[in-house]
A and B are shown apart, each in its own frame.
Chain A
Amino acid sequence: KNEVEQSPQNLTAQEGEFITINCSYSVGISALHWLQQHPGGGIVSLFMLSSGKKKHGRLIATINIQEKHSSLHITASHPRDSAVYICAVRSRFGDDKIIFGKGTRLHILP
């Protein structure tokens, strides 16, 4: 079983829909990252969370440390949001390793 699991693996939605991508992890963490990988391959960091909730524009990320779960929400989705969204966790136990999920491929139809 992977230490970081994302769901769904693939998601197709209509423009304007509210999108939720989930990330569950099984290790103790110091931080969780949400990354966006564009169709061209570039990777951009969206959020770094250690507790609570963060918002940036139409993107909202939440984390529940007790439940070892995080969600990434996109409000009023747009075709330009089409990308792979990757959840990554930073191990809490001093080895500074980052464990990545396999990503969720999001496709927003116009």
Chain B
Amino acid sequence: NAGVTQTPKFRILKIGQSMTLQCTQDMNHNYMYWYRQDPGMGLKLIYYSVGAGITDKGEVPNGYNVSRSTTEDFPLRLELAAPSQTSVYFCASTWTSGGPYNEQFFGPGTRLTVL
């Protein structure tokens, strides 16, 4: 298993540009999450999904959109990049929220800079 994969690893955007951060997991996990990590701060939840076709906002959803058309993929879309979105983005997945298999598996992260 590859686990959770994210692309790209690094990206520099200009203000107002758009991009999609890709996240794929091959563990058949139903729950998937997008987090951002700002320097010196804890991870903040942007969006999450409890299964294909179902998404919900987390703590800091403004400026982002997500979709979950398949179990494996959970892309994060930035429509109009702003400097405040400069951060490291982590995708994670887990088997189920309430059962014993709820260890979270994290992707390697995407470091995004908006200039």
Residues in A lying within 8 Å of B, measured CB to CB: 2, 4, 30-31, 33, 35, 41-45, 48, 86, 88, 90, 96-98, 100-103
B33 at the interface (CB under 8 A from A): yes
Residues of B within 8 A of A98 (CB): 33, 45, 104
B50 at the interface (CB under 8 A from A): yes
B109 nearest CB neighbor, chain A only: A41
Contact with A along B11-47 (1 / 0, CB 8 A): 0000000000000000000010101000011111100
Q: What range describes how many residues of B lie at the interface?
A: 20 to 34
CA distance A98 to B46 in the complex (A): 11
28 sampled A-B residue pairs with Cβ under 8 A: A2-B42, A30-B98, A31-B102, A35-B104, A35-B106, A41-B88, A41-B109, A41-B111, A42-B109, A43-B92, A43-B106, A44-B106, A45-B103, A45-B104, A45-B105, A45-B106, A86-B43, A88-B43, A88-B104, A90-B102, A96-B50, A97-B59, A98-B45, A100-B35, A100-B44, A101-B42, A102-B40, A102-B42
**Are B43 and A42 in contact (CB-based, < 8 A)?**
no
Residues in B lying within 8 Å of A, measured CB to CB: 31, 33, 35, 40-45, 48, 50, 58-59, 88, 90, 92, 97-98, 102-106, 108-109, 111
Least CB distance, A10 to chain B, in whole angstroms: 11
**Are A96 and B42 in contact (CB-based, < 8 A)?**
no
Chain A's interface: helix, strand, loop or mixed, by majority? strand
Most buried by B among A4, A30, A97: A97
**Are A41 and B108 in contact (CB-based, < 8 A)?**
yes
Residues of A within 8 A of B108 (CB): 41-42
